[in-house]
A and B are shown apart, each in its own frame.
Chain A
Amino acid sequence: MPVVVKPEKCTGCETCLSSCPFDAIVLKEGKAYINEYCNACMTCMSVCPEGAIIETETGALSAESRQKIEEYKDVLVFAEQKDGKVISVSYELLGAGRRLADELGAKLVAVLFGAGETEAKELVRWGADRVIVCSAPELEKFNDDPYSALLASVIEEQKPSIVLAGATPVGRSFIPRVAAKLRTGLTADCTSLEIDKETRNLLQVRPAFGGNIMATILCPDYRPQMATVRPRVMKKGEYNSDRTGDIVNVGLDNIKSRTKVLEFVKEVSEVSVNLHEADIIVAGGRGIGGEKGYRMLEELAEALGGAVGASRAAVDEGWIPYSRQVGQTGKTVNPKIYIACGISGAVQHLVGMQSSDIIIAINKNPEAPIFNVATYGIVGDLFEILPLLTRKIREVKNL
């Protein structure tokens, strides 16, 4: 355990007990004791009034591994495609990757599987210095085995310091395999990525415990530092149609697959596409009470030209389909305007919509946490507010 309590200094005041996010400190014979739940987050060290909690030797990195780390330089983005087209999150990652690469004075490399030259050029225009393409037809559809084997071998060859991928069903499924193969760390669902000025390590911020807290994660002693980011969390970079870069083709030699994708069955979900692309989202929670409230949401959304979203409570009640759920276990959205109606603002909901440009909250409880993130707040009954609002918007818009 790198964090320990010095029993001779500990007064048993219990301050550290409640500070620990992992419940890892217990009182033993009147002294604090750090048990196996400890994640070495160091929070307790800063709250202890006696200075009784100290960090033990973490074992400095050997010169040999330090040198190995220094061989890893560039920033690599896995550019996911669907039906031959690079998907939006990949461009967002290039935006983030470009910024990190510039800060490190390194190159930005994109890796593209199952698509060709046209898409590769597009990646260059969105900021990549080099694109590594494998256009083998076996890679057109996502399949874990060949994707993870090939990406791991590209990484071993390119030696990037940082690897970014989308936290999509595809990225979340095969990127962990790559990290396991490479014996390195992977941080899921990062909401912020920065370079530590001093150590040049990647600071990866992500929500934990259902979004109740944020944690900064490091991968100091292994390379590459790998992270996934959800769609719509990062902003796209600059598109430059004159940008040039290298495009390198690689083959799929000797890579076998034990799994086979027989077919893809599309299920109608225009709604969910809609939700990601909507500029305005009118979302409802338990407060909408049922069918009647839902129709009010739809009418307002229609008047504004927006889409309907939902909290999990409204989905669990069966009022709104799951494809419209916003939040930790639903979609992350980033519209210009998010109107939350009858949503309390649980952290699990907030993590999915917090980065909206403008948040309007309508709730009858003035204490509802949704007001903490709102740009405009209305304390009131949505059954009164919504019909009125819809009518006035129609008037203004001459609908």
Chain B
Amino acid sequence: MNIIVCIKQVPDTAEIRINPETNTLMREGVPSIINPFDLHAIEAALQIKEQKGGKVIVLTMGPPQAETSLREAVSMGVDEAVLLSDRAFAGADTWATSYTLALAIKKLGADIVFCGKQAIDGDTAQVGPETAEFLDIPHISYIRKIEEVKDNYIRVERLMDEGYDVVESSLPVLLTVVRELNQPRLPSLKGKMTAKKAEIKKMGMTDIGADENNLGLKGSPTKVKNIFAPEVKTDREMIDGTPEEQVDGLIKALKGIKCI
């Protein structure tokens, strides 16, 4: 079984802050990590491989620095790593990203494609389903459990509001995963050694036979017009005093708005 896991290198958003004076993001010193959901995708792929045999390939589209994330994946035990990097890919939105990933996946060939539910920098959760559409294969989102995998069949649990669906599909299929699915393994010492020496396969625009008009910023239907800091409220009232006085003040306010 050939399994491809799409991973994205992202800034650790928990550590990003806005500079209140300039209203811009402070990214200095913010570490780059593998998108947390994608670690669960890697784990799921490795578990299927351990059961069924085959190989696991990690694939990322990004700048040359994304290689470090690929090596991290290799240290967890994946067999091959592919870096999709080309100036022409720059500035891609989810449409152009999915188009590009799909072409690479077609070249590499896969029975199952895994994606994270969403990337924490953009939080769009769109690349998985869009990639499946470009591949013309079915997809199932929010997988929280894999019940059964056979050569041409898979049955999974899909997390929904207020419960879950049991869904079956033919292969090939694309799955997007949530955290509940599993606990990602830590890299082994041997894995780390392998990762250091591992060959990272590089692919660019011509390798995947892409149409330049569909790539990067040029191929992206959406454009960022501007960015700004979330607004803050100004009409706030602080209630001071002893705890007793504070509570009385709050009770008065609650009465004022007819809450009690």
Chain A positions near chain B (C-beta within 8 angstroms): 1-2, 18-21, 23, 35-43, 47, 141-142, 144-145, 148, 168-170, 172-177, 179-181, 183-189, 203, 207-222, 257-267, 269, 272-273, 280, 304, 328, 336-337, 346-348, 350-351, 354, 358-360, 371-381, 384-385, 388-389, 392-393, 396-397
Q: Which chain B residues (103-138) contact chain A, with CB distance < 8 Å?
A: 120-130, 132-134, 137-138
Minimum distance in angstroms from B25 CB to a CB of chain A: 4
Of the candidates A2, A145, A177, which one forms a contact with B217 in the assembled complex, judged by CB atoms under 8 Å apart? A2
* Interface size class of chain B, counting residues whose CB lies under 8 Å from the partner chain: 35 or more
CB <8 Å contact, A185 and B93: yes
Report the stretch among B69-77, B160-168, B183-191, B202-210 that lies at the interface: B160-168
Cβ contact of A36, chosen from B63, B128, B164, cutoff 8 A: B63
- Would B16 and A210 count as touching, CB distance under 8 A? yes
Contact yes or no, A41 B238, CB < 8 A: no
- The minimal Cβ–Cβ distance linking A107 to chain B, given in whole angstroms, is 23
- Using known A-B contacts A21-B25, A396-B255, determine if residue A207 contacts B223 with beta carbons closer than 8 Å: no
When chains A and B are docked, how far (Å) is the Cα of A43 from the Cα of B251? 45
Bound-complex Cα distance A177 to B95 (A): 10
Q: A187: which B residues are within 8 A, CB to CB?
A: 222
B169 sits at the interface (CB 8 A):
yes
Instruction: Let me know if B257 and A172 touch, CB within 8 A.
Output: no
Partner of A40, one of B120, B157, B224, B247: B224
A213 to B11 Cα, complex, angstroms? 14
List 4 tightest A-B contacts by C-beta distance, closest first.
A36-B90, A185-B221, A210-B13, A185-B222
Query: Is the CB of B233 closer than 8 A to any CB of chain A?
Result: yes
**Most chain A Cβ neighbours within 10 Å, of B173, B217, B250:** B250
10 residue pairs of the A-B complex, CB under 8 angstroms, read A18-B24, A144-B138, A173-B139, A207-B123, A216-B225, A220-B223, A265-B163, A272-B162, A385-B246, A389-B250
Residue contact B129 to A23, C-beta cutoff 8 Å = no
Pair A172/B140 contact, Cβ less than 8 Å:
no
Q: Which residues of A contact B196 (CB under 8 A)?
A: none
When the two chains form their complex, are residues A337 and B259 in contact, meaning their CB atoms are under 8 A apart? yes
Asked, given contacts A1-B90, A185-B95, A264-B160, whether A169 binds B167 with beta carbons under 8 Å apart, the answer is no
Chain A positions within 8 Å of B89 at CB level: 36
B226 touches A43 (CB 8 A): yes
A186 touches B133 (CB 8 A): no
Complex CA distance for A372 and B246, rounded to whole angstroms: 19
Contact B251 A393 (CB under 8 A): yes
Q: Are B160 and A376 in contact (CB under 8 A)?
A: no
The residues in B between 166 and 188 inclusive whose CB is less than 8 angstroms from any CB of A are 166-170, 173
B259 touches A144 (CB 8 A): no
Tell me the bound Cα distance from A215 to B25 in angstroms. Answer: 12
